[in-house]
C-alpha cells in the first residue's frame, strides 16, 4: 500500500497543507471551521445535514499558526513550538470530526492552512455556498479558532454564514433527529434592502426544508425618552402601513415559491427580543447585515450581535448579496425596528 493509502483522513489533509491546487475547483461547498471544540463538531454535524439537503460537499477547514516565545535568559533568543506536534494535533482533530459524522452520502473534504483563521475562512467564502461555524467557542486546540471567528466572519463574509450555538450543538449530539425538526425558518424584516435580501435567502432555506417561513417585524415601542417624536404621529396608521408591507412582501415571495407556507407577525418590542422569542423553537433565524463595506462592515449591527450572543438555534447572517429577485420586491417608504 502507498503512504497515501495508509494515511487517515486528518493525516492526508495535513500532508496536503499548502497545496492550493485542491481548492482550485472548490466551488459551491459548505465550509466549516473546525478547532477541536464541541461547538465546532456541532457545527459540522449541522453542516453535513444541510449539505444532504443542498446536495453539495462539505469542507472542514482548520488553521493554525506557530507561536514564538521570547526567552528570558540573555542568550535565550527565540524558540518555536514543534510544528510536528501541532500538525499531529490537527490531524487528530480532523480524524475525530470525521469519525463523529460516520456514514453519510455527503462528500467530506478537509483543508489545513497556516495563518489567521478568520482570514483563511474569508478567502474561502468567495467561492463557498455557505460558511458554518460554532459560536461561543472557548478553548479548543488551535489558538481558540472560533472564539472570534463566529462574530468577525459574518460581518465580512462573501456568502451567508450560519453560526451554530453551543447549546444547540449539545442537543443534536444527544438527539440527531432534531436536525430534521421540520418547524419553521424565521426571518427579520425592517423594510431595508438588507432585510429583503435576507428574506429571499430565508425563503430558499424554508423551501428546501419544506417548512413554514415566518416574517417577523419588530416595532420598538416609543417611550418618553424619544422626545423628538411628534405628538401628532398616528401610530395606528403606522401599524397599518407596516402590516400592508408585510402582506405585499408575502405576495412577492409567493411569486417565487408558490407552495411555500408564509406567515407574518408584527410585534412590539426590540428587534433582538422579538426575533429570539419568535425563533426559539424554529429551525433557524435569518437576519441581514450590510456586510463588507465601509464602517458599517467593520462590525455586525447590534441586532445581529444580540441574536448571535443569545440564540438557542442556528442563526444565518446574510450579507448584501446580489440577488436579482430583490429588484421586484415591494419598496418601503419607511424603515423600522
Q: How high is the pLDDT of residue 19?
A: 76
- Which residues are within 8 A (CB) of 179 and not within 5 positions of it... i.e. 6 or more apart? 45, 46, 49, 172
d(CA 167, CA 38): 10
Pairwise CA distance, residues 192 & 139, whole Å: 37
Ordered structural domains, the chain, with CATH = 3-173 (3.40.50.620), 181-328 (3.40.50.620)
Is residue 32 a contact partner of residue 132, using CB atoms and an 8 Å limit? yes
Per-residue pLDDT tens digits for 99-144: 999 899 999 999 998 888 888 899 999 999 999 999 863 434 343 4
Report the distance separating Cα 302 and Cα 284, nearest Å: 19
Q: How far apart are CA 142 and CA 127, in angstroms?
A: 24
Instruction: Specify the 3-state DSSP secondary structure of 30.
Output: strand
Q: What is the pLDDT of residues 180-214, one digit of tens each?
A: 877 899 999 887 888 899 999 999 999 999 999 99
Length of the chain: 337
Show contacts of 14-20: CB within 8 Å, 24+ apart.
14/87, 14/90, 14/91, 14/94, 14/112, 16/111, 16/112, 17/87, 17/111, 17/112, 17/113, 17/114, 18/114
CB atoms within 10 A of CB 24: 8
- Calpha distance 260→184 (Å, rounded): 11
Confidence at 225, pLDDT banded by 50, 70, 90:
very low
Is the pLDDT at 292 greater than 60, yes or no?
Answer: no
Please provide the average confidence, as pLDDT, over all residues in the chain: 82
**C-beta of residue 90 within 8 angstroms of C-beta of residue 66:** no
Provide CB contacts within 8 A for 315, sequence distance 6+: 135, 162, 163, 165, 284, 285, 286, 287, 307, 308
Helices (H), ranges, the chain: 3-6, 9-15, 38-54, 83-101, 117-124, 146-156, 166-174, 193-209, 235-254, 271-278, 302-310
Identify the band that residue 257 occupies on the pLDDT scale cut at 50, 70 and 90: very high
Q: What gap in Å lies between CA 173 and CA 176, rounded to an integer?
A: 6
Which cell numbers in the block locate residue 284? 433557524
- Whole-prediction pTM value? 0.84
Amino acid at each position: 500500500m502507498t503512504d497515501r493509502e495508509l494515511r487517515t483522513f486528518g493525516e492526508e489533509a495535513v500532508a496536503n497543507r499548502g497545496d492550493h491546487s485542491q481548492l482550485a475547483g472548490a466551488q459551491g461547498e459548505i465550509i466549516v471551521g473546525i478547532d477541536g471544540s464541541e461547538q465546532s463538531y456541532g457545527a459540522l454535524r449541522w453542516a453535513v445535514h444541510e449539505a444532504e439537503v443542498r446536495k453539495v460537499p462539505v469542507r472542514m477547514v482548520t488553521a493554525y499558526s506557530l507561536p514564538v516565545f521570547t526567552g528570558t535568559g540573555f542568550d535565550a533568543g527565540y524558540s518555536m513550538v514543534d510544528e510536528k506536534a501541532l500538525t499531529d494535533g490537527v490531524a487528530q482533530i480532523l480524524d475525530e470530526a470525521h469519525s463523529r459524522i460516520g456514514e453519510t452520502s455527503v462528500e467530506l473534504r478537509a483543508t489545513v492552512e497556516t495563518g489567521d483563521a478568520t482570514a483563511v475562512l474569508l478567502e474561502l467564502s468567495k467561492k463557498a455556498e455557505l460558511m458554518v461555524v460554532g459560536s461561543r467557542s472557548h478553548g479548543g486546540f488551535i489558538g481558540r479558532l472560533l472564539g472570534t471567528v463566529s462574530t468577525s466572519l459574518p460581518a465580512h463574509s462573501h456568502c451567508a454564514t450560519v453560526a451554530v450555538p453551543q447549546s444547540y450543538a449539545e442537543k443534536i449530539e444527544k438527539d440527531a433527529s432534531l436536525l430534521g425538526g421540520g418547524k419553521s425558518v424565521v426571518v427579520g424584516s425592517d423594510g431595508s434592502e438588507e432585510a429583503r435580501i435576507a428574506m429571499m435567502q430565508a425563503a430558499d432555506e424554508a423551501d428546501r426544508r419544506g417548512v413554514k417561513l415566518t416574517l417577523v417585524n419588530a416595532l420598538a415601542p416609543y417611550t418618553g425618552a424619544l422626545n423628538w417624536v411628534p405628538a401628532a404621529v398616528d401610530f395606528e396608521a403606522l401599524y397599518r402601513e407596516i402590516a400592508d408591507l408585510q402582506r405585499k412582501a408575502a405576495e412577492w415571495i409567493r411569486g417565487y415559491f408558490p407552495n411555500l407556507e408564509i406567515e407574518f407577525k408584527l410585534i412590539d418590542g426590540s428587534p433582538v427580543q422579538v426575533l429570539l422569542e419568535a425563533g426559539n423553537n424554529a429551525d433557524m433565524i435569518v437576519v441581514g447585515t450590510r456586510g463588507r463595506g465601509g464602517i458599517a462592515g467593520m462590525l455586525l449591527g447590534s441586532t445581529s450581535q444580540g441574536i448571535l450572543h443569545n440564540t438557542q438555534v442556528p442563526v444565518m447572517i446574510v450579507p448584501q448579496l446580489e440577488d436579482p429577485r430583490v429588484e421586484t420586491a415591494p419598496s418601503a417608504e419607511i424603515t423600522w425596528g
